[in-house]
Structure 1
Amino acid sequence: MNKIFETPLYAYQRSPDQDAATPVRHKAIVVGAGPVGLAAAIDLAQQGIAVVVLDENDKVSFGSRAICFSQRTLEIADRLGTGRQMVDKGVLWDAGKVYFDDRQVYEFNLQPDTGYANPAFINLQQYYFEDALVARVRELQAAGAPIEIRGHNKVDAIGTHDTHVALEVDTPEGPYNVEAEWLIACDGASSPTRRMLGLDFEGRVFEDNFLIADVVMEADFPSERWFWFDPPFNRGQSALLHKQPDNVWRIDLQLGWDIDKEHEKRPENVIPRLKAMLGEDVEFDLEWVSIYTFQCRRMDRFRHGRVLFAGDSAHQVSPFGARGANSGVQDTDNLCWKLKLVIDGQAPELLLDSYSHERVQAADENITNSTRSTDFITPKSEMSRLLRDAVLDLSEHYDFARPLVNSGRLSTPCTYTGSSLNSADALNGPEVTRPGAACPDAPLGDEFLLPKLAGKFTLLTIDADAPDRIEEGGIEATRLALSVKDDLTLELKRRYLGGATSAVYLIRPDQHVAARRDNYEENAFRQAIRRATGKE
């Protein structure tokens, strides 16, 4: 077994809060030290917001769990200080192959374009992501940042109030009480926080189960995503193969609905299934085995007063498409800059409602895509199966059929169309950078665009005049001036100008477009700042 599972990263230590005469109140408390909770805490700490993370464990998650991290997540991780470490450790891939029965029907490339600092996807066990995030917390602590992780601190009770949230926390030395001005619940799909507040999910649980097996083996398979429909080794079902670091391979095998989960997880039952897939002579060791049920559900809203839900505690999707952890990290990217402005008194609390509105839209988009994938992978009628199989047969020879094959539409960032924070589009520019969209990266000589946009409001000008800074209601936007004359790859022009000859963008701290026009107009951009901060 990988020793990382056994290593305490944030062992229990007694906190001064446990000896306080009255409950200590913190600016922000995060419940849960998984990738989403740690990302939220790091983001807040880097902005100077004091934050405490409470977790009932003291180690990384057992098993690889989430393994596919998207380009957008890696871009966020760059800002959090863990992106390069993840890419260096991870398995890079952008190609996939789809099989039907015993034949390959087609293959695809996720990133045919160039000009991005990060790959389309990496495969990396979740425990390595968590390990990198905890190491980043330690770096921030050494630099004096206001961040703390408390292991073996289990939240047992929550009381919500107009000005704060009261928590009762259990520890190996007994319970204590603490308070938070804002509580961020990142405590997973079974979320005790959600349960204690009497809240629930809405959505579908699909009648299907998949076996996950992390297999350690020496194999010469390429670093690609391989998906099988109705393979000879798992008739009537499907299968997935992904490579991870350290010669670990993720194998997913569809099992059906009416199964005994504990029986199916036993090694004596798992190993014959894997041998049927890999071959009798292939030597391997099982590192981790689990069974999951397809679920596509979410909370009605992600903000409940001073409690904010993110990641699996707020929404669940079926795993095909890599939408779980990626969407959770993107939740925190949307939330933390808004919470910073509210805490600092630079924006009304109403701004936090936009977190719920925008990320509910993203969750619905993920649920829609995940549901469609699930329905294609697991047809619910014989007619649906016949139609699916016909599409697979056609895809082997005809390009038009390939977009209809759905083995999991892979995660992409949500464009917040209709968001109250967007200003009207006043540029005849590319769809990819319309208001609400996440900014795509672009090469700038030896550098890239996105790091220059991180964590602040930016006035991006392309062959347009504008002041070096503009301040509105205490919010400052600083100018980044670029020109297509220096755009040797023409990717900046393609992604930000389209047919226009000049452009001015207002970019939010989470690198989403708030407004764009062909030229700078002061009143319009002042209004855009007010809108983007919930003041209009």
Structure 2
Amino acid sequence: MLSTFQYPKFDYVRPPEIAEGRDGHCPVVIVGAGPVGLSAAIDLAQQGLRVLLLDNDDTVSIGSRGVCYAKRTLEVLDRLGCAEEMVQKGVSWNVGRTFFREEEVFNFNLCPEPDHHRPGMINLQQYYLEDDLIKRARLLPNLEIRFRNNVIGVTPDAEQATLRVETPDGAYTLSADWLIVADGARSPIRTMLGLDIDGKIFMDRFLIADVVMKADFPTERWFWFDPPFHRNQSVLLHRQADNVFRIDFQLGWNADPEEEKKPENVIPRIKAMLGDDREFELEWVSVYTFQCRRMNRFNHGRVLFVGDAAHQVSPFGARGANSGIQDTDNLVWKLKLVMDGKAPATLLDTYSDERCYAADENIMNSTRSTDFITPKSAVSKTFRNAVLGLAEQFPFARALVNSGRLSVPSFLADSRLNTADSDVFAGNMIPGAPMDDAPIATADGTQWLLGAVGNRFQLLHYVPDAGALDAASAQALRGLIDAPIAVEAIVVAERGTAPAGLTTLIDAKGRVRERYDLREGTSYLVRPDQHVAARWRALDLAQVRAAVARATCNA
């Protein structure tokens, strides 16, 4: 086991279905208590739904596995009530550096703008992330987690999905109105249902070595092409919590995984990199290959696939868990509206459409990174090395360097849930965009824009002085809460307090106005997952209601 982390062992509890000799039912059943399944369960439970989460194990993930969690993922986890602990424990970073042989040739900053709450990335071992998510989940009374409950059969029909679940006390039957599948890349449930997943496996192998050592390396991502300590291959270095450093060594396709994992073969590689004088302790070693593939659709009637069960990418770019948690962010609000009878089931088709688009974007970027890092021919390698050699002096070459385009949220610009602009705007906050954060002040002490939005439809309406909002606009904004799908009105202002019944958000540094190109009367309709749905230069109640109907497939 690990020297820096003690694995919890979660209790198995005899299910009531076995104790009482009956079948069970829960409105939503989720299979898989990894980061994605836990995020889905917490999100649904926070919104008042009863949720049952099944997992075939009784602890968190073995080995550090996932390492990097992106700014957008942290913003989702903030909404779930557990990001702060992760940020405090993890290693925050924004800068990545790329080296060719002995020279730095390229660097980037994931968060070059000031005044954002969360960093571009944190590095945190996956077992810490899961442990924090489980602690959060256990605070929610309508969320039950059953460990050592292994799903061995699934039978879906038009009204529900029926599961057969194996436990140490025998098997039982459980039905669900909706089944969310988060059981990982090999997804037994996907196999049980005979569903497709298409893509390709890349012909290369990488060694992961997590080592414990004291080093004053900057909290940055370092990537080497053809370094003197590992010629003709690449190496990646990340610092994690507890003075654990993740080192990835490219090995080549012909490497023997079992031989490469042996300490007598790993330690010389690390010493060649760090020097003989650096003391370190091996924490975790594994060898992996990688693949890029996805299902054709993520929703199949009453069965919904998320995370690695739906799509997989190579680890360069930190797109695995980040993308999976963003799947749940997209899915949960739509499922809640469908279950509440406020939206048709076709809204779930847009979950698949939007997240398939995001998966394709991730696969494209991941494939390009992999092709650059592991050239498939001598000609490709010559081109790659020429680009790296030119990158130190020439900006055009820097744009071609690809050591892993890092995870960013998708701009869903072509989503059918958007209402197209009818007015002219500047900036990036187009319909379909994930919202930019900014510092604010509110009566309840909220300090960040994304801390004030989410989980429901909201309309941000800008006026310089909230206290001077005209009576007609105030009445119109109050009326939105009584719409078939309620919309919370928020007045964004530089000063003042809005009339009774309206929330006031003070743009403390002018960043909201700047990032959203706000002028007096500008309004933004934002979705429960903090994506822009529509925007206008003037408030029109009919337009807002039409945009909400479009964003919920009620149009």
TM-score of the two chains, using structure 1 as the length reference: 0.96
1:107 aligns with 107
Where do residues 11-30 of structure 1 align in structure 2 (5 Å cutoff)? 11-30=11-30
Within 5 Å, give how 1:366-445 maps onto structure 2. 366-445=362-441
SS in 2 for 1:297: strand
- Is the aligned partner of 1:91 residue 2:91? yes
Shift of 1:221: 0.9
Please give the alpha-carbon distance, in whole angstroms, between the structure 1 residues aligned to 2:310 and 2:375: 27
The DSSP-based 3-state class of the residue aligned with 2:316 is coil
SS, match of residue 480 in structure 1: strand
Alpha-carbon displacement from aligned partner over 1:481-535 (angstroms, at most 9, x marks no partner): 112565453321221116x554211111000111111111111111111111111
Cα distance in structure 2, aligned partners of 1:375 and 1:7: 37
Deviation at 1:9, TM superposition (A): 4.6
**Other-structure match for 2:534:** 515
Counterparts of 2:483 and 2:350, CA distance in 1: 19
The separation in 2 between residues aligned to 1:92 and 1:231, in whole angstroms, is: 26
Question: Could you say if the C-alpha distance between residues 4 and 312 of structure 1 is closer, same or farther in structure 2, counting changes exceeding 3 Å?
Answer: farther
**C-alpha distance in 1 between matches for 2:144 and 2:8:** 15
Q: What's the offset of the Cα at 1:209?
A: 1.2
| CA positional deviation for 1:24 | 1.3
1:483 maps to 493
- Note if 1:173 corresponds to 2:201: no
Q: Could you tell me how far 1:420 is from its partner in structure 2? A: 1.5
Instruction: Give the Cα–Cα distance (whole angstroms) in 2 for the partners of residues 20 and 197 of structure 1.
Output: 29
Residue 426 of structure 1, CA deviation: 2.5
8 Å CA contact 1:469–1:476 kept in 2: the answer is: no
Amino acid at match of 2:413: T
Q: Deviation at 1:401?
A: 2.0
| Count of aligned positions | 531
Task: Tell me the distance in 2 between the aligned counterparts of 1:418 and 1:106.
Answer: 33
The residue aligned with 2:246 is 250
Deviates more, 1:256-265 or 1:147-156: 256-265
Query: How far apart are 1:274 and its partner, in Å?
Result: 1.3
**Superposed displacement of residue 472, structure 1:** 7.0
Which range is displaced more, 484-493 or 178-187?
484-493
Give the corresponding residue for 1:345: 341
| 1:320-359 superposed matches below 5 A | 320-359=316-355
8 A contact 2:67–2:126 mirrored in 1: yes
Corresponding residue of 2:512: 492
Question: Could you tell me which amino acid in structure 2 is paired with residue 467 of structure 1?
Answer: L
For residues 27 and 488 of structure 1, do their structure 2 counterparts lie closer, same or farther at Cα, with a shift above 3 Å needed? closer
State the 1:31 CA deviation. 0.4
Which of 313, 317, 329 aligns to 1:317? It is: 313
In 2, the alpha carbon distance for the partners of 1:184 and 1:329 equals 13
Structure 2 equivalent of residue 470 of structure 1 = 480
Segments of structure 2 that go 5 or more residues without pairing to the other structure are: 464-468, 496-505
SS in 2 for 1:39: helix
Query: Share of identical aligned residues, percent?
Result: 55
Query: Is this contact kept in 2: 1:472–1:529, CA < 8 A?
Result: no
For the pair 1:198 / 2:208, whether they are aligned, the reply is no
Question: How far is 1:380 from its partner?
Answer: 1.1
Greater mean alpha carbon deviation, residues 32-41 or residues 20-29: 20-29
RMSD: 1.6
- For the structure 1 residues 472 and 292, does the alpha-carbon distance in structure 2 shift closer, same or farther, using more than 3 Å as the test? farther
| Contact 1:72–1:412 (8 Å) recurs in 2 | yes
Deviations 1:9-50, CA, capped at 9 Å, x for gaps:
532111112234442111001100000000000000000110
2:451 is aligned to 451
Q: Is the 8 A contact 1:5 1:62 kept in 2?
A: no
CA distance in 1, matches of 2:176, 2:239: 41
- Out of 468-477 and 197-206, give the one that drifted further: 468-477
Contact 1:312–1:324 (CA under 8 A) maintained in structure 2: yes
* 1:6-155 matched pairs, under 5 angstroms: 7-140=7-140, 145-155=141-151
Amino acid at match of 2:40: A
8 A Cα contact 1:165 1:307, kept in partner: yes
Most deviating of 273-282 and 248-257: 273-282
Q: Deviations 1:429-476 (Å, cap 9, x if unpaired)? A: 234211111111011147111111121110111228451341576310
Partners of 2:427 and 2:517 within 8 A in 1: no
User: What is the CA deviation profile of residues 135-163 of structure 1, one whole-angstrom value per residue up to 9, with x for unaligned ones?
Assistant: 101222xxxx3101111001011111111
Supply the distance in 2 between the matched residues of 1:410 and 1:209 (Cα, whole angstroms): 20
CA contact (8 A) 2:2 2:284 kept: no
4+ long deviations beyond 4 Å: 3-6
- Tell me how far apart the structure 1 counterparts of residues 314 and 7 of structure 2 sit (CA, whole Å): 30
Task: Tell me: CA distance 1:489–1:473, structure 2 relative to 1, closer, same or farther (3 Å).
Answer: closer
